[in-house]
Chain A
Amino acid sequence: MKVAVIGIGTTEFGENWDKNLRQLAIEAGTKAIIDAGIRGRDLDAIYLGNMSAGRFVGQEHVAALVSGELGLSIPALRIEGACASGGLALRQGIFSILSGQHDIVLVGGAEKMTDLMTDGVTSSLMGAADQEWEAYYGVTFPSLYAMIARRHMFEFGTTREQMAKVAVKNHHNGFLNPIAQFKKEITIEDVLKSPMVADPLTLFDCSPITDGAATLILCKEEWAKKYTDDPIYIIGSGQASDTLALHDRKSLTTLDATVKAAKEAYKQSGITTKGVDVVEVHDCFTIAEIVATEDLGFCKKGEGGKLLDEGLTEIGGKIPVNTSGGLKAVGHPVGASGIKQAVEIVLQLRGKADKRQVKDAEIGLTHNVGGSGGTAVVHIFSR
């Protein structure tokens, strides 16, 4: 399989109080259309990742909203898979081209979260967990990931300092990323001393509440060079599901959906972990990045913390992870994060990531998770 990315666009991520969902989606979409050098009328369809506009801003039917705002009457579809909505939209966009149905499609992700107060956002996000078996008993996502963290510490000796290093690294990368919500360097001490959220996770272990949108323009392989000298190709796409409830899984420290989605994406692309130059993983909490690097095969199970100790996942390291700053520092507008990850990988493979640039990056990978691992989607990109 091979589908080209010919355009990218993002809004700034953050507390965009002066922009509504419509404006965010249109801003990112317009930027991507301009970047691709196409006209809106060249688009055949829109796939929009969005988790919860109905609860966040009272707006459903958001894909048609975006299509209408762009002055188009093409098929427009909203894709929902909790925080993996963006990655799933990308996958559907790819399929629509591979099927021969469409030639050029817009895949976007958008979320407007800051219109609600924090408790409203938290309970909306809990829609991604098992309402009957998790939410009703009072857990929230920080506490679910805290349980994963505790178990990881117990089984593998992972430390709080190692988790803090994820936040420190990603804030450093975010500091270099103009769209990041947090453009501020932090120290391990800052993370450990920040207010406790769900033991052992403190505030700086958690990704923030964010408004933002990101867009890709996909094009069938044969046409890509018509629009750009520098197309980036998607050469592998894998998706898998698991139980929504964390306690129904056989392990708390492995997200099986990630393992399976990655296996499929590696198989399709013919790439192994050794061939990957740059990775964006779903670091909704610091422990999630550690678990992800293991589940994606960049180290043995239980050794994710060691990657950080050795600096291997930093820009300039052997396998740079979350060069954008990740969900942690760029922010996590849930439906948009999966697309933003792809935008970062495209920038890296184009060699346009500025101070975050990974030298000679040829192959990149994105990993997007819904809930605590009920959905995972992995994509592999190539120059």
Chain B
Amino acid sequence: MIGIVGYGGYIPRFRIKVEEIAAVWGSNANSIKKGLDVEEKSVPSIDEDTATISVEAALNALKMAGIDPKEIGAIYIGSESHPYAVKPTSTIVGEAIGCSTEYTSADTEFACKAGTAGIQMVMGLIQGDYIKFGLAIGADTAQSKPGDALEYTAAAGGAAFIIGKNGIIAEIEGTYSCSSDTPDFWRRDTIEYPSHGGRFTGIPAYFKHTVSATQGMMNKLGFKPNDFDFVVFHMPNGKFPKRAAKMLGFDFKKLEPGFVVQKIGNTYSGSSLLGLAAILDIAKPGQRILITSYGSGAGSDSFSIKVTDLIEEKRKNANKVQDYIDNREYVTYAHYTRLRRGI
């Protein structure tokens, strides 16, 4: 039985409100808030990046897992904001959290779904008995062009998952993916900010892959929407996951516990995984969780996860996602610009 041995999230403290950004661009904050269903977003501090966020999340996961970091045989970090174009984030993190040198690692990129792809890669290594435990992380300090619609949501945060066969707090019952060449959002090498296809990011991109992967996973495992107690989808804004849930026949109540986007924005590779972590923070043994990520370009990974009895004991002393959401300090646009190294 493969599953999650420990997990942990991390969200930077700083927040900027939609009103603060809208005022700078002369835009109507209320219509943006209504359109995106987002109120504020997290902002990384000047010394935070994907590596530091990954380290924080991984330390939380290790604390919960209660394993020796030297037992970790693989590290995959999914992000679209790796600090280096060449030189891995994953070895920085491995070193910082006290891993041995006996592990395989790579940085992955698939827009916002490289973290869940990392989980699948680790699952394969575990299934093949190549390693005992593996660490998969999704983390980002998302870029957005000043004045672009993305600026209201592009946020920072991440979540780490230690996968293994022993001491699992939740079983991964199965996974299913859907991928296609769909250019809805991209950033070319050496270009500072990503571009996107406006509404093209919706139906032919996000919804097509999210819905197909979710339905494919349910068909493969023989589940129906009623079999799940919680669902989480990638949260590029508040509207898309709500609509995806509706299209697939899930009540908002099942989405709500992992619906972290309104207060922290879109944490890209961290988004669906932070939602999953928030759900695991409150889920009871026996409950079943559906998670479907989405990465532009485009693809979705869908998982069915069933919580085990061990969860209550192991999460006792862990930092909760909600703690990070609540621990916040608002910044002005000027301060935000400085933190983003704009001035």
Contacts and interface: CB of A to CB of B under 8 A. Distances in A.
Contacts, number: 13
Interface stretch (B38-46, B112-120, B193-201): B193-201
A15 B195 CA distance: 19
A15 to B, nearest CB: 6
B204 interface: yes
Contact of A117 (B28, B198, B204): B198
Interface residues of A, number: 7
B31 interface: yes
A15 B197 CA distance: 12
B204 A118 contact: no
A195 B28 contact: yes
Looking at A17, A117, A195, the one whose CB has the most chain B CB atoms below 10 A away is A17
Q: Chain A interface secondary structure, helix, strand, loop or mixed?
A: loop
Interface in B191-222: 195, 197-200, 203-204
Q: Chain B interface secondary structure, helix, strand, loop or mixed?
A: helix
A197 to B, nearest CB: 12
A18 B200 CA distance: 11
Contacts of B203: 17
Contacts of B204: 17-18
A17 B198 CA distance: 12
Given A17-B204, A18-B204, A118 B198 contact: yes
Nearest to B202: A15
Interface string A319-337: 0000000000000000000
A33 B28 CA distance: 49
B31 A15 contact: no
Contact of A114 (B28, B31, B195, B200): B200
A195 B28 CA distance: 8
Nearest to B199: A15
B198 to A, nearest CB: 6
Interface string A108-126: 0000001001100000000
A195 B203 CA distance: 23
A18 B199 CA distance: 14
Contacts of A117: 195, 197-198
Interface in B167-212: 195, 197-200, 203-204
Interface in B43-68: none
A15 B28 CA distance: 26
Contacts of B199: 15
A216 to B, nearest CB: 30
A18 B28 CA distance: 33
Nearest to B200: A17
Contacts of A15: 199-200
A15 B184 CA distance: 14
Given A17-B204, A18-B204, A195 B31 contact: yes
A340 B198 CA distance: 26
A133 B329 CA distance: 50
Interface string A1-41: 00000000000000101100000000000000000000000
Nearest to A114: B200
Nearest to B195: A117
Nearest to B197: A117
A108 B200 CA distance: 27
A261 B198 CA distance: 39
B305 to A, nearest CB: 33
A129 B16 CA distance: 41
Nearest to B203: A17
Contacts of B195: 117
Nearest to B182: A17
A362 B203 CA distance: 41
Nearest to B204: A17
Contacts of A118: 198
A18 B204 CA distance: 8
A17 B204 CA distance: 8
A114 B201 CA distance: 12
Interface in A165-196: 195
A118 B198 CA distance: 8
Nearest to A117: B198
A177 to B, nearest CB: 21
A183 B195 CA distance: 29
Nearest to B28: A195
Interface string B208-251: 00000000000000000000000000000000000000000000
A114 to B, nearest CB: 7
A282 B246 CA distance: 38
Nearest to B27: A195
A279 B310 CA distance: 72
A117 B195 CA distance: 10
Contacts of B197: 117
B191 to A, nearest CB: 15
Contacts of B28: 195
Interface in A13-71: 15, 17-18
B32 to A, nearest CB: 9
Nearest to A15: B199
Interface in A259-277: none
A192 to B, nearest CB: 13
4 A-B pairs closest in CB distance:
A17-B204, A195-B31, A17-B200, A195-B28
Interface of B: 28, 31, 195, 197-200, 203-204
13 contacts: A15-B199, A15-B200, A17-B200, A17-B203, A17-B204, A18-B204, A114-B200, A117-B195, A117-B197, A117-B198, A118-B198, A195-B28, A195-B31
Given A17-B204, A114-B200, 8 more contacts: A15-B199, A15-B200, A17-B200, A17-B203, A117-B197, A118-B198, A195-B28, A195-B31
